[in-house]
Amino acid sequence: MTRKIGFYAVVAYVLYGLFFYWYLFQYTSPTLPFEYQGSQADPSTFLNSRELLLSEEYSRVRNFLFFISTPFEWLLYLFILLFGFSKVFKKWGETSAKHKPLQTAIYLFWLNITAFILTFPISYISYSLSKTYHISTQSFPSWMKDQLIDFWVNFVIVYLVVVVLYWLMRKSQKRWWLYGWFLSIPFTLFLTFIQPVVIDPLYNDFTPLKDKELETEILKLASASNIPADHVFEVNMSDKTSALNAYVTGIGSNARIVLWDTSLKELENEEILFVMAHEMAHYVEKHIYIGISISLFFSLFGLYFVYKLMHWIVNRWGPALKISKIEDIQSFPLVLLLISMLLFAVNPLTNLISRYEEKRADNYAIQLTDNPEAGIVTFQKLAKTGLSEVNPPLLVKIFRYSHPTMLERISKLEEESIRLQNEKQ
């Protein structure tokens, strides 16, 4: 049974990979619909022929890496179970320490380091790809530093979750998923609250915006939106990327509007103001809190499905997976496998919700700045510096895009620009 499960899993993964290779490299075409050709959303109007070719190449390879990397994780966790590595890691923990919490920490260390090493090639290929196409400006030592920070931050978070989750499993085999969800609410809020001041600074340096004249203009927009902001923050991303970005993060007193320094270098002030107006919309419309609520809503059903699926899988294939009971720590790779699969499955829906919010934020920026032309130029520069697809394939949009496509965003702004010009006439 073990060999059969492993064989069919590998075959399914290979077929899956071949499908997406065909879909991305053979079936889809970057050609724009006729009605958009020659418009400001047409990449040929703001990218030269070499940039168009690089954008097409880079996007296809990057999208392919996305689609094969997540199922590769599923295969990894499955083989950790099938070959008994999870059982071995548990034994190493038990022989190395007397106390249960320390045994769990040792188990998770070996599980995480194994996953880190086996997924490292894909991570490195992604990094190397962005370097080759001059998206990443990050040195290898700096990139490795971020990878190691990721490892330890994730280790601490996962350790806390696992200790509580498996304690709940032992105490209540039928209701652990519900109690775990209740505890995840304050934990999620706590992580969101501390992220801007504890986690994010581990990766980059954040400082108040140095250009005080620009900060004054931004704070005027904030005042017009009834946002009690005293500072705008900039982050030194130019050491890592040439791409442009800005974002809103945190909740409560730790909420921040952050500009990448690459945006400050490449965008004009009116374009930055449009970006800031967009980010302010997320604050005004409470998108961060809505996002947390949606995440918690999905996690409730997700934990329930994990609970049901684990019992079904262990009852049917427990011996092959080396799992005798759900509440045994060596079942954790199965938890990771199921959560990853569920997250991948709901990705289209969460992206759809996010694209709706981003569309509202764009509309808010148009109303607040009354300058859709600045938005058009901004999005053209975003596409240019990031070699972004203006009109991605349907499956890429569904599974990858948390924002509307550049085709949709620029076309909308172009319509608004024409409408405003007609009104002035």
Parallel, antiparallel, or unpaired: how do β-strands 233-235 and 246-249 relate? unpaired
Q: What is the Cα gyration radius of the chain?
A: 24
Q: What's the token pair of residue 421?
A: 């010009």
Q: How many CA atoms lie within 13 A of 221 on its CB side?
A: 29
Per the listing, tokens 């550049």 go with 406
234 is in an annotated binding site: no
- To the question of whether residue 287 is assigned a binding role by annotation, the answer is no
What's the rounded Cα separation, in Å, for the pair 320 and 307?
A: 19
Of the candidates 215, 266, 271, 362, the residue annotated as catalytic is: 362
Which residue reads 């209701």 in tokens? Answer: 175
CA distance 306 to 166: 13
Q: Is 134 annotated as a binding residue?
A: no
- 362 noted as active-site residue: yes
Nearest in space to 334 (alpha carbons), one of 36, 160, 44, 82: 82
- Catalytic residue of the set 215, 279, 414, 416: 279
Q: Give the annotated binding-site residues.
A: 278, 282, 358
- Residues annotated as catalytic are 279, 362
Q: Give the annotated binding-site residues for Zn(2+).
A: 278, 282, 358
